[in-house]
Amino acid sequence: HALSNWAFLEVLEYLGKLSVLFAVVYYVYEAPDRLKQKHYQAWQVINTAQGKGGSGGRLDALQELNKDHVPLVGVNAAGAFLMGVHLEKAHLLRSDLSGSDLRSGLLDQANLEFAKLSFANLRGVSLRNANLENADLSDADLEEATLAGASLAGADMARTDLRNCDLKDVVWKDIAGIQLANVVHVKNAPNGFVE
């Protein structure tokens, strides 16, 4: 009872509350550095796995970076297993995804201009309104993919498998090449595309 009347205990109580407030302020102040550290770690995962098969953590790393609106320009994920990847509105300009497995992925409105997608497995992938201008899609498998509204100007689609692919409103007039592409049962093909 005698100690409860001691003023020093009140000072200690206020100091405890002040230390909690200081910790909260410090946590908020350090948030940008933690975000940078998270991005550095994601890039390290992507770069370390270059040239290796499998996911190697790249799927999560790419999705996290894209979620934080980090441009993925020039990323090299050739031969990666990225099935079901979600990279909507991703900036994948000049990226190398050749030979990658992107089946059932979501790449709606992604910028894949000048991207290397040759021999990529893009079965069932959604590329709605994607920019595929000047992309290399030669020998890619786009069976049952959705390219509705995508821009293919300057794209190389030689020997590409487009079976059952949705081509509604696709921009294709200035396509670079489509020799030996499989266009059997394409859906919503614009006038003149199949011919």
**DSSP type of residue 3:** G
For residue range 108-138, what is the model confidence (pLDDT) as tens digits? Answer: 999 999 999 999 999 999 999 999 999 999 9
Q: What token pair was written down for 138?
A: 């030669």
**pLDDT tens by residue, 9-56:** 677 677 777 777 777 776 677 766 778 888 999 999 998 888 777 777
